[in-house]
Amino acid sequence: WISSSSIKSDDITAGDVTLESVSNAKVGYHFGLVSQIKFAGIYIQPELLFSSVGGQVRLKETTVSHVIDQRFSRIDIPVVVGKAFGPLRLGVGPVFTMVLNSSSELDDFGAYDDKFKKATIGYQLDLGLDISKIAIDLKYEGSLTKLGDGVTLGENSYNFDSRPRQFILSVGLFF
């Protein structure tokens, strides 16, 4: 399972330090258990996944600029409900996420502190194709809740907008 995510936020400036989004997407991965229940042209697809996602931000200090990686290890529980059109599927549903671990090279800078939430809720839009016992899904994941309470840069605190948005390509095998 492959995902591509990026972190989008407003620029934050504290004195001569600026923290800004970088449009570079980071490649991540997912693996876990998937079930699919089909009846009367409708399908329900609950999943239990371990995910590794991330993104980059840029920290500018006076004349120096650093591109900084951020990574999140998490458990995702999406439940997609949709309509099957023969082998094609189109669905939508919530995704519940519990962050197991977050790492950021920003921790190396003394004036930085983050306040990530341990659990968030998002949504997924799913376009799927079933071929025999193989399922191929292309999903877009968005946010319904904030990633956390914010970051502290210098002596100022700033709120988060939302959790990372991502595209997810997955291939599953049903037994």
Look-up: residue for tokens 């595209």? 167
pTM beyond 0.75, yes or no: no
Q: List beta partners, residue 57.
A: 21, 68
Spans of the chain, pLDDT less than 70: 1-26, 55-62, 66, 69, 103-117, 146-164
CA distance 75 to 78: 10
DSSP state of 147: S
Contact 165, 138 (CB under 8 A): no
- C-beta separation of 15 from 112 below 8 A: no
Q: Kindly report, residue by residue over 11-47, the tens digit of the pLDDT.
A: 656 566 665 665 566 677 889 999 999 898 899 999 9
The H-assigned helical ranges of the chain are none
